[in-house]
Structures are given as structure tokens and as C-alpha cells.
Chains A and B, each alone.
Chain A
Amino acid sequence: MSDALALDLARLQFAFTISFHIIFPAITIGLASYLAVLEGLWLYRKNTVYRDLYHFWSKIFAVNFGMGVVSGLVMAYQFGTNWSFFSEFAGSITGPLLTYEVLTAFFLEAGFLGIMLFGWNRVGPGLHFFSTVVVAIGTLISTFWILASNSWMQTPQGHEIIDGVVVPVNWFEVIFNPSFPYRLLHMSVAAFLATALFVGASAAWHLLRRRDNPAVKKMFSMAMWMLIVVAPIQALIGDAHGLNTLEHQPAKVAAMEGHWGGDEHNAAEGVPMILFGWPDMEAETTRFAVEIPRLASLILTHSWDGTIAGLKDFPAEDRPNVPLVFWSFRVMVGLGLLMIALGGYALWQRWRGRLHDHPWLLRFALVMGPAGLIAILAGWYTTEVGRQPWVVYGLLRTADAVSPHPPGQLALSLSLFVVVYLFVFGAGIAYVLRLVRKGPVISEGEREAHGGPGQYRQPMRPLSAVEDDDGDAGHPQPHTRS
């Protein structure tokens, strides 16, 4: 009893801390590349709108990056504090991958972040641009290693088990395990999409209030281009990722589809696609199913009457929580379709010359602001809950991985995490939104040239001082100073 409770508490703590954490790196990955593009365009075209956008987004990047660092530190230690048997069992593989992430990515980002954020007037434009690019590359290298590690846990290969412990045999096979390329692409593109939606919503907020300036218009246009190009590509990547999962983790796909198999459906009818329904794990069926005949066969096997494994083909103790996987998958896919729709709608309004002032487009872009992040969370719930009850697929069960802590100790740490995260990251997100509300300031870079070189985060003080007396940014450009 207390064992089961302790396991649930440890899982809850991991889910809570990593759900908060992933939001920040996702935006960090996207914004770092966006900032590199902006600075490159500024240096190449000398159009100040890019420089102003760089300064605007680099402030938001700084707050977001800080939150990513501190919430990530917790993750690096949590494998040991809460999942000691996993660490002993698989540390010989996940440990080196994490170490490579620290060596090749974390130090790189941290080393050049200072120059990127504080060095605008301290170093030449070349070294500054180099620093921004290096930070952007660092975020992608980090993505590479952490997803290699996660993917190995999903589709392990390249190892042997000796004396009950994993021993790596072929590192190339370990890193480039079957699900890795799909997961890496899917997550990197998701980070770009989530950032584009966030940038687009920030611009839409200002455009709806007619607080538009060239920078706001530019960032809205860039975000909408990003969406129409990348959102459809993401759908294709997601489809390929699904086929890969079907090959290596069929139980997960069965749960995503709510497909129980058995004698429910005649094999000759193919497998229907269940659009909506309520998977009932007791009754081993999906209730209230709204289905399209044969569509699942078509998508998953690319044939009219192909069959896939159903949940009944797996022992009950080897099945994940079906309703959670089923619904989180639908949330992700639904949001993905809305992203494509937004991209297409924006393209149409752009063609009509109404990109920056069509109210329904702007409202749509505004409400889609958090959609990328919600889709990322839903996607991760699908894949992480879907691989249960395994922590290393087929090799180690989650229940056997957990540290032997008394439930009281876990309840204490979990409640502390909840209280601290809600307070700290709640405040952080409020600061990010406050910065967004101020909007990009025209010619901010020029003013900064006269600020304290590197010793002060230049704009914060004048902005804070102004913010004190206006509170709500009601009037246009309240913060432009001479």
C-alpha cells in the first residue's frame, strides 16, 4: 500500500517538475534560433526593425532561459534522488548521454549567454552575432542528447544486460536508436512552432489594440510564414513518428487509437479510426466511439484492410492508462490541425492584403498563443504515459525503478515543489507577459548604445521606472524615452 502510494507520489513529482520544465526549453530552443535569424538579418540588411526585435525578444529570452536553467537542474538530480534503481540499472547509458549534453551544450550556452545578453556594447557585432548563433546551436545540441537518451529508453538497443545492469556495447546504435530521428525532428519542429505561435500571439495582441509599429508587423508576418511552412511539415513528421511507434511500441499506438482488437471487429473490415470515445479499461472497449471505417488501416498500414495489434493482444498489466493516452493524443493532433488552419488563414489574408488588420485572423492568432506549448505537453503525455508500465521499454518497469523513500518524505518534497514552482514560475510567466505587453520599442538599440556597457541590463531600469506609474500599458509607446 505505502509502496504503491510512494510510487504514485514519485511519478507525480516527476510529471509535475518535468511538465513545468519542458515549457521553458521549448521556448528557449525556438527563440534562440529566432534571435540568431533576427541578428543576422540586422547585420545583413541594416534594417533597424530587426535590431529592435532582437532587443525585445532577447529580454524575454533571458527570463525564460533563467527559468529553464533552474528547473532543469532539478531534473539532472531527480534521476538519482527519486529513481535510484533506474539510475543503477541504466546509468551506464543515460549518464554518459547526459554528461555529453552538459559538456557540449550547457557549457556552450552558458558561456556565450553572458556575451549575448550583456555584451551588445562590449564586443564587436561579429563576436556578438557569433555568441547568439552559438547559443542557438547549443540549444539544438542539448535537444539532440536529451532526446537520444529518452529515445533509447523508448526503443533500447546497442546494449547487453550483464549482472542485471545495462552495459553499452555499440554507442552508435544506442544514440541512433529506432525512434530517435523521429522524436528529434518532431520535438525540434514543435519547439519552433510553439515559439512562432507565441511570437504571433504577442504581435496579434498589439495589432488588435492598434499599437502597431513596423517591428510588430514584421514579427507577425515572420511568425505566420513560419506556421504555414512548418505546421504541415510537422504533420508529416508526426505521421512518420506514429508509424515508427507502431513498429516498436504497438501497445502505445493501440492506446492512442483506443483500439482493443479481439473479436470486436471482423478482420476483413479493416480497422476503423475512432475519432472520439471513452476508452473503458475495465470493460476493455471504447465506449461512445465515433468512428470512420477503415481509416486507421489506411493511415497506419497504408492498406484498405490492414490490421494492427489491439490492446487485448497485451496482458492487462502491460497496458498503459488508455484514456489518458487516447485523449492527450487527440489534443495534440487537434491543436496541430488548428495550427495548419491558422497558417493557411494567414496566407489567405496576406494575399488579400489584410494580414495586419483582419480582426478574426488576429483573434485566432491570439488564442493560439499557448497552443504550441499545450500540444508539446499533450504529445509528451501521449508518448510517456503510452510507454508505461515500462521506464526502459521491455527492460525495466517503472515500479521497479523508484527509490525506496517513505511516502511522507515524498509528500513533503512534492508539496514543496508545487508551492515553489507555482510561485516562482507563476511570477516568471507574469514577467514574460509584462515584457510582451510593452512590445518592441523602435530605436531601442540606439538608446542602448549610450547605456552602461554590460554592467546594467540596459533597458530594465528606465522601463521599470516608467512601468511604476502606468501599470497597465494603456497608451501607445509609453516607454519610448529620448
Chain B
Amino acid sequence: MTDIKAEIDVLPGLDSSARLLEVEGLHVEFRTQVGIARAINGVDLHLDPGETLAILGESGCGKSVTAQAIMGILDTPPGFVTGGAIRYRGVDLLKLPEEQRRRVRANHVAMIFQDALSALNPVFPVGWQIAELFRVHRGMSRQDARKRSIELLDLVKIPAARQRINDYPHQFSGGMRQRVMIAMALALDPKVLIADEPTTALDVTVQAQIMNLLAELRRERNMGLILITHDMGVVADVADRISVMYAGKVVEEAPVLDIYARPAHPYTKALLESIPRLDLKGQQLNVIKGLPPNLTRIPAGCPFHPRCAYARDVCRADPSPPQYEVDPARTARCHFWTEVVGDEPAVK
């Protein structure tokens, strides 16, 4: 089996000393009837093995589109990647022919989705769906593939895996379904796992189970994990680094402790101040005035300026703020980041 895998693993230009995943200047637009929606406007990300990178943002900020572009599952049309590079171990995925891209998807980079019920095929048993990966990508026999599927269901701690393998997705609870999807994503031992809001549809007690499982698997396999979420609590619990997105740009990137203690972008600061906290009582909720911008008409200058308390004339004019280096490990796209960092900490 290993030699089959080795053969499939070969990608032209694969350099194991290069960075695990690097996104540089990614641009994505959606050409719709009402105009061009610029969903991603120059996103830079990087990921190392064993690391958890959280992409945090509200709906419409482009976090899911970034994931889809990395996976190569963007709906085209209307979505088009118009610029940038996505390098996996030095290989630019955007330049690969579709057949090779398909191999990357299962073997190197895998993804789990928010809604497991609609991500799984309702007319096939879950065991069949997992086994399909082994049959198609590894050329295994039905029997071997089935055996491997049972092992995988065991791995994600589904009780009585041998029996449940014949069940259909609707026969599983929400949490168990999410486990099935994790099993499918991990089937071919990917090096990068992208989890797009994996627990948003789940209850908190089940969310805790799934997040623990993901952390455990990441540690065991030394995978890089990209966690896409809007939940600042989940992020605080699991992330190593955070990229905060707004209107298709990473507005702030920093290690998790720094960002919560001393945010450097007004958007991050406002977000932290607007969430009610379980362990603090009766604090006043700060409100971010206004709405996120319409992606077909992103304001000139800094896209956050109409909602920003720090905004001045320089923010309202192009070009939009560059990536300022806050310290060697963190960046922020705000002209006045020194003021923001210097202000009272957002929490406590």
C-alpha cells in the first residue's frame, strides 16, 4: 500500500523543505448580474505542520471563499481566482491541471464542512462513502476498503463502528455525522485539514467533543489545521495563530495570546468588545455601528473606515492601509495601529 501511496504522492516540484501551505496575494471575484463582487482582495496566509491557524470573521468576509479557493472547489462561474498563488510545499496549486489538483485534494489537503447532513450523500451508507475514497484514490478492493473504513470510524470514536458502517447519514446524530465527515477527510492522511465552521450547527456539549477530537488528531498526525469560524470562544481555546478577515482582506494576523490581550486593529478590538462573556457579568456590550460593506461596492481606502472609531481622512482615501508589522510575529492593516494597541485592553 505504501508504494501505491508514494506513487500517487508525487507532484512535480514538491519540495518537502518548503512551507507546508502558503497563500500569497489571493484575489477572488464573483461575476454576478448585479456586478462584480470582490470577495477576496489580496489574502496572505501561511501554515506549518502541527499548527492551528484560525480564520476569524463575520459572514461575507471571505473566509469560506478562501478555503474553497485553496481546495479548488470554487463554483466557476460565477467565482474566479483572478490573482495570487497558493503554494503547497512549493507547488503552486493554481497552476496544476485539474487531474493533479484532484489528487492533491484527497491526499494532501482535505476539508470538512459546516453542515454534515448536506455534505454527505444521503443515498449511500456512510461506510460506502468512506470506502469510495480508498477504491478511487488507492485502488483497493472492496473488502480492504471496507476494513479501512471501519478502522477510520473507530479512530473518530464512533461506537460500534462495525455495525454503523451500514447506516445512512440520516441515521446519525449531528455530532456523529460530523465525526463521519472528519473520518472521510482524514482517510488518505492529508497534511493540511481545513475545517469550515465544523461545530457551528452543533450544541455546545457536542462541540466540545468534536473540538477535542480534532485537536487530538492534529497532534497525533502533526497536521496543519485551518479552522474557519466566527466564534471567538472556540478560537481562544484551540488556535495558535489568528487571521482576522474583513471585506476580503486579512486585517490582522497575530499569535492568539497577543490578539486577545492587545488587538492592533480596530475591527478586532470592536469584535472582542461586542461579545457577551460567560464568565463576566453585566458588562456593557459595545456595538459596532453600521454594517459590513457590500462586496460589489467596497469603500475606498480602508474598508472598515465607515464603522471605525479611529477613522481619519487618511483612512478614507486610497490606497488602503498596507500590512504594518506590529512585531515580527504579527501584522495589522491599520494606519493607527500604534494607537489601537496602546489603548485599554479590550477584555478585562
User: Are A and B physically bound partners?
Assistant: no
Chain B residues at the A interface, C-beta cutoff of 8 Å = none
